[in-house]
Amino acid sequence: MDKPKKSESSDQPIVPFWKQNWGDLDRVFDNFRRDFERTMTSFPAMNLPMHVSSVSCDILDEGDHYVINAELPGVIKEDVKLNVSDNNVEISAEHKEEKEEKKKNYVRKERRSFSYHRSLPLPEKVDSAKAKAKLNNGILSIEIPKINPTPKPKSKDIPVQ
């Protein structure tokens, strides 16, 4: 590409090439964003069978254990998969619903399906074998005990002989 010519009589500062074409770069990103948003918002119109949502969670540090409360509206316990490893909790749920209503002059059939997924890293190692979980009114409560680290030896004064 040609370098912009500098006029001897001009007091204007020299503008680097990339700044001169900054508007072109902005247009490229604007077009990309617009096309991406258009594509993503067209999915519901296509009646895709599944919607994946992130699980809203609260993680509480109770000293010797963690308590995780996760919101899973419309999910029953048979739909939930829970995996606890040394320092990670993975929650996933898939729910499918079908309703059919038949009356004299019409038939109405609706389907709804959705899934949830969330992976939560924990700051300390936990005892996955002792984890407990309970689902009540769309709230999944998970209690996971921490692994007690080996106690560090206390400092001790040693007499010199």
Do 110 and 64 have their domain in common? yes
Domain assignment present for residue 7? The answer is no
Q: Is 131 domain-assigned?
A: yes
Note whether residue 11 is domain-resident: no
Tell me what pLDDT residue 45 has. 43
Claim to verify: residue 60 and residue 123 sit in the same structural domain:
yes
Examine residue 1 and state whether it is found in any structural domain, yes or no. Answer: no
Residue 37 to residue 40: CA distance in whole angstroms: 5
Residue 71 lies in a domain: yes
Is 103 found in the same domain as 79? yes
Residues 62 and 135 in one domain: yes
Q: Give the chain's domain count.
A: 2
Radius of gyration of the chain from its Cα atoms, rounded to whole angstroms: 29
Domain range for 56: 49-145
Residue 98, CA distances (Å) to 47, 78, 110, 133 in order: 15, 17, 6, 27
| 135 plus 65 within the same structural domain | yes
- Do residues 76 and 135 make contact, with C-beta atoms less than 8 angstroms apart? yes
Residues 103 and 126 in one domain: yes
Q: Let me know if residue 104 belongs to a domain.
A: yes
Structure pTM? 0.57
Q: Indicate if 21 and 53 belong to the same structural domain.
A: no
For residues 1 and 128, give the distance between their C-alpha atoms in angstroms, rounded to a whole number: 61
pLDDT of the residue at 32: 79
Interval 35-58 mean pLDDT: 61
**Shared domain check, 53 and 39:** no
pLDDT exceeds cutoff 70 at 71: yes
Same domain? For 111 and 54 the reply is yes
Closest of 127, 134, 131, 142 to residue 87, by C-alpha: 127
Residue 68 lies in a domain: yes
Q: Express each pLDDT in 90-133 by its tens digit.
A: 998 888 878 888 888 878 878 777 788 888 888 888 998 999 99
Question: Does residue 155 lie within any of the structural domains?
Answer: no
